[in-house]
Structure 1
Amino acid sequence: MAATKNTSSESGSGRRIPWLPVSIILFILAAALFGEKGVLRMLQSRRQKVDLEQQVAEKQKTISDLKTEISKLKTDRIYIETLARKELGMVGDGEIVYQFPGEAPPSSGTAGNSGTLP
C-alpha cells in the first residue's frame, strides 16, 4: 500500500500548475482588455468617433444652409418678399387683404398696412 501512496503523490506533483506564470498572464490579459488603453476602451472610442463625425456632418450641413439663406437675404428680392409675406403678414402696394370669419389674423398684425417691400 505504501507503494500506491508514493505513486499517487508522484503523479499529483507532475500535474502541478505553475501559479506565478498563470497569474502574470491573467494580469496582462486583464490589462489588455480593461486597461486605460485596452481593447474595450478602443472600441468605445471608435463608436464615439463615428458619432462625433456624424454630428460634424450635420453641423456642416446646417452651416451650408445658413450661408445659402444669408446669400438669398442679401441678393434675392423675391425671397425677402416671400419671407415678409409669410412671417410678417405684409402686403404689397395695391393689394387687398380679405379676412374671413374663423381665420386667425396674421401674427404681427401688419396685414392691413400697405408698405413697400424692399
Structure 2
Amino acid sequence: MNFSRERTITEIQNDYKEQVERQNQLKKRRRKGLYRRLTVFGALVFLTAIVLASSVWSQTSSLSAKEEKKEQLEKELKSLKTKQTDLKEEISKLKDEDYVTELARRDLFMSGDGEIIFNVEKKSK
C-alpha cells in the first residue's frame, strides 16, 4: 500500500448535512451562552453572599457592643437602686427627731441645754 498518496475527499453537500451542521453550531452557541449565564449567575450569587456575610458580621459586632453596654447599664441601675433605698431609709430616719438630735451632737458638736462639750484628741499609734 502506498501511503504517500494524498487522499482527497469531497464532502457531500446536501440539505441533511447542512441541517445537522446548523444544529451542531446551534448547540455550541447554546452551550456557550449557558456557560456565560452560569458564570454571571455564579458571580451574582458570590457577591450576594459577600454582602450578606458582611452584613451579618457588622450586626454581630454591633450586637456584642450593645450587650456590653447593657451589662454596664444594668450594673449602674443596680447600684442606683441600692443608693435609692439607702436614701429612702435616711429620709425616714431624718423624720425622727431623736435621730436628728443625735446627728447634730455627733457631727456638728452641738450640745443640749446645760451640757458642756469636751474635745478629746484621739491618740495616734
**Partner Cα distance (1:68, 1:99) in 2:** 31
**Partner Cα distance (1:88, 1:80) in 2:** 11
User: Going by fraction, where is helix more abundant, 1 or 2?
Assistant: 2
- 1:1-118 maps to which residues of 2 (within 5 A)? 18-34=42-58, 38-75=59-96, 77=98, 79-99=99-119
Structure 1: where are the runs of 5+ without partners?
1-15, 104-118
The TM-score with structure 1 as length reference comes to: 0.59
The TM-score with structure 2 as length reference comes to: 0.56
**Partner Cα distance (2:51, 2:82) in 1:** 47
How many residues are matched? 81
Larger radius of gyration: 2
Letter in 1 for 2:110: M
**Partner Cα distance (1:48, 1:26) in 2:** 29
Taking only aligned residues, the RMSD between alpha carbons, in angstroms, comes to 2.0
SS of equivalent residue, structure 2 residue 95:
helix
Structure with the greater relative contact order (CA < 8 A, sep ≥ 6): 1 or 2?
1
